[in-house]
Amino acid sequence: MPVTFYWYPNCGTCKKAKKWLDDHSVDYNAVHIVEETPSEDELASIIRTSDLPARKFFNTSGKKYRELNMKEKLKNASEEDMIKWLAADGMLIKRPIVTDGERVTVGFKEDQFEQIWN
């Protein structure tokens, strides 16, 4: 069964992750994270499955994050608010996200991919 690979094609980290998946023959469905931004329900499910706090899903180095002053907004935000913001703008989401419904990785760390997706 293929994993779901949420990515942004212009993102260098996403390109590295895609190359790793291709080089290791991992079957995946690529989802353009901006054109097909995951819904609130999808994000809530991914976040729950990951065991990571919702704030770990924000692209803190992104232009949108800075423009919207998310650093300040996140300080007192509920998980529900965070999920709403992420679902409203795919550029706020840290990428890539890879999931098989039971496991989730956020960002690309080769050793983590090796351990989880190989």
> In the structure encoding, which two tokens stand for residue 106, read together?
């956020």
By residue count, the chain amounts to: 118
Residue 1's pLDDT is what? 82
Give the distance from CA 66 to its chain's centroid: 18
The domain tally of the chain equals 1
Q: Give the residue numbers spanning the domain of 86.
A: 3-117
Q: Which residues of the chain have pLDDT under 50?
A: none
Residue 96's pLDDT is what? 98
14 within 8 A of 96, measured Cβ to Cβ: yes
Residue 85's pLDDT is what? 98
